[in-house]
């Protein structure tokens, strides 16, 4: 068995297959979302930073979903409207697209850590609150011992130069960086946060700790009223 096939199997076991650790966590998040918003199937949702494909495989189908992503969010469906744009300025993005800048609930999964620093996280949180009084925003927890994007222990605590070198060669990354410059770009656009900043960004929300093996793996800001 080649090294590539071994690492591929490890990554599928950890995060990519439906039965993986990550796959089961995603399923639990949707179950949690449905329990917090039991009428989700009757609601309009704006997904900040998501994809059409993610909703097509979800076990719950809201009345309508608008997906905003700075990259291609996918193809439109009869109940999903994709919009290419910046989630940190979601209201302006929707108005420019001729869509209503409001919804029943805002949803975002593993996006907050990729928006480009604290100032943009503040803008992102403001967008969430501007769109709806209800939201569900998840982000990986900085102090979980394994960095979730590269599956490398403690990587988030290393200097940028060290993280860049790891990202350039580490076989368990989601995708291998094409160059050292590309690896550095991915590193600089990935910044995990802790509980203090999450509470500061969403002071009126309940912060739920998602745990794995008793340790906090991610944080979820929820407001359901």
Residue 33: which of 91, 86, 109 has the closest Cα? 109
Write down the pLDDT at residue 1: 43
Residue 131 binned pLDDT confidence (cut-offs 50, 70, 90): very high
Q: CB-hemisphere CA count at 13 Å for 90?
A: 33
Q: CB-hemisphere CA count at 13 Å for 173?
A: 17
At residue 8, does pLDDT exceed 60? no
What are the tens digits of pLDDT across the range 44-84? Answer: 999 999 999 999 988 889 999 999 999 999 999 999 999 99
Ordered by where they begin, the domains of the chain are 3-145+192-223 (3.40.50.150), 150-189 (no CATH)
Which whole-number Å values give the CA distances from 47 to 10, 107, 111, 125, 159, in the listed order? 29, 5, 10, 13, 32
What are the tens digits of pLDDT across the range 208-221? Answer: 999 999 999 999 99
Structure tokens that stand for 223 in this block: 């407001």
Residue 176 binned pLDDT confidence (cut-offs 50, 70, 90): confident
Write down the pLDDT at residue 150: 95
Write down the pLDDT at residue 225: 86
Write down the pLDDT at residue 33: 86
Residue 23 binned pLDDT confidence (cut-offs 50, 70, 90): low
Write down the pLDDT at residue 186: 96
């Amino acid at each position: 068995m080649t090294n590539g096939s071994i690492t591929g199997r490890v990554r599928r076991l950890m995060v990519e297959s439906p039965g993986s650790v990550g796959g089961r966590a995603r399923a639990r998040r949707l179950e949690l979302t449905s329990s917090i918003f039991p009428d989700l199937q009757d609601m309009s949702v704006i997904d900040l930073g998501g994809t059409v494909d993610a909703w097509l495989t979800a076990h719950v189908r809201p009345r309508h979903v608008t997906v905003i992503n700075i990259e291609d969010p996918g193809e439109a469906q009869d109940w999903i409207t994709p919009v290419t744009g910046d989630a940190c300025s979601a209201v302006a993005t929707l108005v420019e697209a001729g869509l209503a800048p409001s919804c029943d609930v805002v949803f975002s999964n593993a996006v907050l850590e990729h928006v480009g620093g604290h100032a943009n996280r503040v803008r992102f949180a403001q967008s969430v609150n501007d769109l709806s009084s209800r939201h569900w925003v998840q982000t990986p927890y900085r102090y979980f011992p394994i960095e979730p994007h590269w599956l490398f222990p403690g990587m988030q605590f290393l200097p940028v130069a060290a993280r860049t070198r790891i990202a350039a060669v580490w076989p368990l990354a989601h995708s291998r960086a094409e160059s050292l410059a590309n690896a550095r770009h991915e590193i600089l656009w990935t910044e995990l946060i802790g509980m203090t900043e999450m509470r500061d960004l969403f002071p009126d929300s309940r912060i739920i700790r998602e745990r794995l093996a008793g340790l906090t793996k991610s944080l979820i800001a929820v407001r359901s009223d």
